[in-house]
């Protein structure tokens, strides 16, 4: 299905952007990991967002989601792997599925943790971020899954179900990926496994992995006052644009990004 604006990330910034796209009469799709995997979910008490005192992170997220859904925002659970603009339309891969939209808002939060040695080098040659996309290539073969979320366990189960021999590692401290022309082994926390693929299933991906050419400052996305990035039709909001890494700032930037994306669509 085609949407006016697709929002990547269903935290406070993404939901605020989506609500404000709907307020401008445009359709909005939010693609995100499950709500319980949002980092704010674990906050015992959020006390510095005006008008919503003493809520737990989970309560706050559930309230934001209800508000957005009531306004007609569509939610899809999944992980965005890549995005490509072609003839004024964005094509976004969500696992093995595809959605398209006229504009995008990136609201993916912060990526916690650095890339592992060998990850960049072997990406596409035995390093994958998506089990459902690349799993079939490794049927009958030994693969490692480095999982960070409950959904990663489901992806590992999927790999087993199609005949991969899966070794699952949870949130490792160290990981070294090695091989020749393609991956041959991975060493996780000192334990070496011969394998042909390492699936790295993190909750978030680096924005520059999804959008090659995206301008960044350090690990944060560069935006102007309209929350526009250097890529036409791509806006950004929330923690991914830099500090303060706080709910109120994320919601405020989401509003601007949503309005800017809707205005961009209106001009098309
Ligand atoms: C324990 C804890 C307590 C906190 N307490 C407070 C507090 O008291 N007050 C306060 O103001 N702030 C607090 N924060 C910070 C607050 O959670 C963040 O500032 C806020 O959630 C940022 O919103 P966001 O929408 O930019 O990003 P996020 O809330 O991080 O949302 C981004 C979402 O996008 C998803 N995502 C990322 N990449 C992809 C992808 N490729 N495909 C699909 N989904 C993707 C992520 O999994 C995540 O669910 C706390 C944070 C933590 C971790």
Domain CATH code at residue 155: 3.50.50.60
CA 257/CA 107 separation, integer angstroms: 9
Do 229 and 169 share a structural domain?
no
Q: If you measure from the C-alpha of residue 38 to the centroid of ligand 1, how many angstroms do you get, rounded to a whole number? A: 6
Residue nearest to atom 41 of ligand 1 (CA): 80
Q: Among 201, 231, 256, identify where a domain stops.
A: 201
* Domain co-membership, 24 together with 87: yes
Pairwise pLDDT comparison (124 vs 166), residue with the higher score: 166
**Is the same domain home to 98 and 210?**
yes
Instruction: Report residues whose beta carbon is within 6 angstroms of any ligand 1 atom.
Output: 8-14, 31-33, 37-40, 42-43, 46, 48-49, 79-80, 107-109, 203-205, 238-239, 245-248, 250
In a shared domain, residues 195 and 252: no
d(CA 36, ligand 1 centre) in Å: 11
* Residue nearest atom 26 in ligand 1 by C-alpha distance: 238
Same domain, 139 and 256: no
The more confidently predicted of residues 95 and 26 is 26
Residues 6+ apart with CB under 8 A from 188: 144, 146, 169, 172, 174, 175
- Residue range(s) defining the domain that contains residue 242: 2-112+205-267
In the chain, the number of structural domains is 2
Q: Going by DSSP bridges, is the β-strand pair 183-188/191-194 parallel, antiparallel, or unpaired?
A: antiparallel
The DSSP bridge partners found for residue 201 are 147
Q: Among 186, 201, 216, give the residue marking a domain's end.
A: 201
- For residue 140, count other CB atoms closer than 10 A to its CB: 9
* Pair (92, 63) in one structural domain: yes
Phi and psi based region of residue 119 (left: phi greater than 0; alpha: psi -120 to 50; beta: remaining): alpha
C-alpha 182 – ligand 1 centre gap (Å): 35
The predicted structure's pLDDT at residue 203: 83
Q: Are residues 135 and 62 part of one domain?
A: no
Which of 241, 247, 253 maximizes ligand 1 atoms within 8 Å of its Cβ, making it the mutation to test the pocket? 247
Within this chain, do residues 82 and 211 fall inside the same structural domain, yes or no? yes
Confidence band, pLDDT 50/70/90 cuts, at residue 171: confident
Q: Which atom of ligand 1 is nearest to the CA of 38?
A: 49
Asked which of 156, 174, 201 is the last residue of a domain, the reply is: 201
pLDDT score recorded for residue 214: 97
CA 110 / ligand 1 centre spacing (Å): 7
Which residue, by CA, sits nearest to atom 34 of ligand 1? 9
Pair 221, 93 in one domain: yes
Q: How confident is the model at residue 25 (pLDDT cuts 50, 70, 90)?
A: very high
Query: Where is 252: in which H helix or E strand?
Result: helix 247-267
Determine the average pLDDT of the residues in 54-74: 97
In which band, very low, low, confident or very high, does the pLDDT at 155 lie, cut at 50, 70 and 90? Answer: very high
**Averaged pLDDT of the chain:** 94
Residue pLDDT, tens place only, 184-227: 999 999 999 999 999 999 888 889 999 999 999 988 999 999 99
* CA–CA gap between residue 15 and residue 96 (Å, rounded): 24
Positive or negative, the CA dihedral 156, 159, 163, 164 is negative
Q: Which residue is listed with tokens 């603009």?
A: 85
Q: How far is the CA of 11 from the centre of ligand 1 (A)?
A: 6
């Amino acid at each position: 299905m085609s949407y006016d604006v697709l929002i990547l990330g269903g935290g406070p910034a993404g939901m605020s952007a989506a609500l404000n796209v709907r307020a401008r009469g445009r359709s909005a799709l939010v693609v995100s990991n499950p709500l319980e995997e949002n980092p704010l979910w674990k906050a015992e008490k959020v006390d510095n967002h005006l008008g919503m005192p003493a809520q737990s992170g989970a309560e706050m997220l559930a309230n934001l989601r209800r508000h957005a859904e009531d306004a007609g925002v569509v939610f899809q659970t999944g992980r965005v792997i890549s995005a490509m603009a072609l003839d004024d339309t964005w094509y976004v891969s969500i696992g093995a599925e595809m959605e398209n939209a006229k504009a995008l808002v990136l609201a993916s939060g912060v990526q916690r943790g650095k890339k592992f040695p060998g990850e960049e080098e072997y990406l596409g040659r035995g390093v994958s971020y998506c089990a459902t996309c690349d799993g079939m290539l490794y049927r009958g073969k030994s693969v490692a899954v480095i999982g960070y979320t409950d959904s990663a366990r489901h992806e590992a189960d999927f790999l087993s179900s199609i005949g991969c021999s899966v070794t699952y590692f949870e949130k490792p401290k160290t990981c070294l990926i090695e091989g020749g022309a393609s991956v041959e082994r991975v060493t996780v926390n000192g334990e070496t496994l011969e394998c042909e693929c390492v699936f790295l299933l993190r909750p978030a991906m680096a924005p520059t992995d999804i959008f090659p050419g995206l301008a960044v400052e350090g690990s944060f996305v560069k935006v102007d006052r309209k929350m526009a990035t250097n890529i036409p039709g791509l806006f950004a909001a929330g923690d991914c644009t830099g500090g303060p890494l706080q709910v109120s700032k994320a919601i405020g930037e989401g509003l601007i990004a949503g309005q800017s994306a809707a205005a961009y669509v209106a001009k098309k």
